[in-house]
Amino acid sequence: MKPRMIVSEMDSYVPGKSQDEIASEFNLNKEDIIKLGSNENPFGPSPKAIEAIEKECKNINRYPESVLNELQQELANYSGVKQSQVIVGGDGADEIIDVLAKTFIDEGDEFIVPLPSYMYYEYLLQQYGARPVYAKWNLDENKLDIDSIVDAINSKTKMIFLCTPNNPSGTLIDKEDIKRIASQNPDILIIVDEAYFEYAEITNKDLINEFNNIFIIRTMSKVMGLAGMRVGYGLACEEIIEYMHRIKPVFSLTRLSYVAALNTLRDEDYIKSSIKKGIESRQYLYNELSKIDSLNVFPSKSNFMLIGIKDTGFTASELALELMKHGVIVRDCTSFKGLDEFWIRISICTLEEDEKFINIMKEVLS
């Protein structure tokens, strides 16, 4: 049986390695492995979420909520928007991107992605017959090349993806640049990915009241500590949200993910603590790694940072392998289009794990 042509031509998406994989491959204890490869919240989930999940377990024989009014309202309160401007999805933000594609993409459409950036946009939209067109980030100046976006726009352009803070560079996009692109291209949907906005303490959510062609993607997998629950959400004008609700799967949120999300949002102390500890970890890692002369460490507004390693004598795959042997998982960024084989990405951990990682990095590089 042959698949659709686009499926036969696609490469599989390459996620970060798990602790179980590394423990098995290198005969290590899973509990001792330091995971810096997947941009997760290392401080654990909200205790209120855990309690809610335990109580809800007895109801998993029943279908989950199909009308998510209560969760939508909590997300609206958290985001400072109206409930009618919120859509919630399962599978993290990935389902939100998928529903966007199903709602607005026709075969033959084009979408713009500045490189390097999160590659899952391309992976999802190509399934619907859309073609990626690449703009670029200026890594020398660590900022988006706006002119490359403008130059890439043509009559087939349906969407532009702007990740801020950008993954993997950690760079913020200036709000005025987003407004410029949106105002000059009212028929193009501008997707602003704010998966990590809490760590930047900056948001563009007010733009959805100013522009009908801006859609903001968010997730509860980062600061909210729910990566294993797969909850994402989007913010946009009411018209876009209504169209997407026609397409979105009815039962995409499980009963457990629903109560976990609801109770995490109601745990304000947990959210504030997660942000504070995450920023502290990021700053510690940046300060310590910047002392190593052979590393080119990018300042970041997210919970991860991009590191150039060309002067270390290692390629990314070689360094990642050596670190895995020592029980440390980092992200080899060779699979990111727009980067060569001399970049890795690391994410925050507890300060204790950060210190261990720094010592291991120094040992490996020496």
pLDDT in tens, 319-335: 999 999 999 999 999 99
Q: Three-class SS of residue 325?
A: helix
User: From CA 153, how far away is CA 164, in angstroms rounded?
Assistant: 20
Judgement on whether residues 224 and 349 belong to the same structural domain of the protein: no
Choosing from 214, 238, 267, the residue where a domain stops is: 267
Judgement on whether residues 70 and 19 belong to the same structural domain of the protein: no
Judgement on whether residues 38 and 88 belong to the same structural domain of the protein: no
Read off the pLDDT of residues 189-246 as tens digits, 9 standing for 90 and up: 999 999 999 999 999 999 999 999 999 999 999 999 999 999 999 999 999 999 999 9
C-alpha torsion sign, points 292, 297, 300, 303 = negative
Contact 238, 73 (CB under 8 A): no
Question: Domain span at residue 250?
Answer: 47-267
Judgement on whether residues 251 and 193 belong to the same structural domain of the protein: yes
More confident residue, 74 or 123: 74
Read off the pLDDT of residues 292-321 as tens digits, 9 standing for 90 and up: 999 999 999 999 999 999 999 999 999 999
Average pLDDT over residues 46-74: 94
Judgement on whether residues 184 and 329 belong to the same structural domain of the protein: no
Helix, strand, coil % in the chain, rounded to nearest 5: 45, 15, 40
Judgement on whether residues 213 and 319 belong to the same structural domain of the protein: no
Judgement on whether residues 138 and 70 belong to the same structural domain of the protein: yes
**In the numeric block, which tokens belong to residue 28?**
């290590």
Upper half-sphere CA count for residue 254 (Cβ side, 13 Å): 15
Name residue, tokens 């909200």: 46
Q: Mean pLDDT for the chain?
A: 94
Judgement on whether residues 361 and 236 belong to the same structural domain of the protein: no
Judgement on whether residues 203 and 318 belong to the same structural domain of the protein: no
Q: Three-class SS of residue 342?
A: coil
Judgement on whether residues 236 and 295 belong to the same structural domain of the protein: no
Judgement on whether residues 165 and 288 belong to the same structural domain of the protein: no
* Helix (DSSP H) and strand (DSSP E) numbers for the chain: 14, 14
Q: Would strands 331-332 and 343-347 be described as parallel, antiparallel, or unpaired?
A: antiparallel
Supply the DSSP symbol for 24: H
Number of structural domains found in the chain: 2
Residue type, 303: N
CATH code of the domain containing 96 = 3.40.640.10
Upper half-sphere CA count for residue 3 (Cβ side, 13 Å): 7
CATH code of the domain containing 328 = 3.90.1150.10
Say whether pLDDT at 3 is over 90. Answer: no
**In the numeric block, which tokens belong to residue 307?**
């590191």
**In the numeric block, which tokens belong to residue 135?**
């703009």
Q: Which residues pair with 35 in a beta bridge?
A: 329
User: From CA 245, how far away is CA 40, in angstroms rounded?
Assistant: 28
Read off the pLDDT of residues 90-147 as tens digits, 9 standing for 90 and up: 988 999 999 999 999 999 999 999 999 998 999 999 999 999 999 999 999 989 999 9
- DSSP per-residue letters across 57-110: GGGTTS---S--HHHHHHHHHHHTS-GGGEEEEETHHHHHHHHHHHHH--TT-E
Choosing from 267, 295, 315, the residue where a domain stops is: 267
- Where does residue 164 rank: exposed (0-12), middle (13-18), buried (19+ CB within 10 A)? buried
Element (H, E) at 305: strand 304-308
Choosing from 211, 239, 267, the residue where a domain stops is: 267
Say whether pLDDT at 7 is over 90. Answer: no
Judgement on whether residues 63 and 192 belong to the same structural domain of the protein: yes
- List the end-to-end C-alpha distance of the chain, in Å, as a whole number: 52
User: From CA 270, how far away is CA 172, in angstroms rounded?
Assistant: 25
pLDDT at 26: 79
Confidence of residue 337 (pLDDT cuts 50, 70, 90): very high
Upper half-sphere CA count for residue 234 (Cβ side, 13 Å): 31
User: From CA 358, how far away is CA 285, in angstroms rounded?
Assistant: 8
Write down the pTM of the prediction: 0.94
Q: Would strands 143-144 and 131-138 be described as parallel, antiparallel, or unpaired?
A: antiparallel
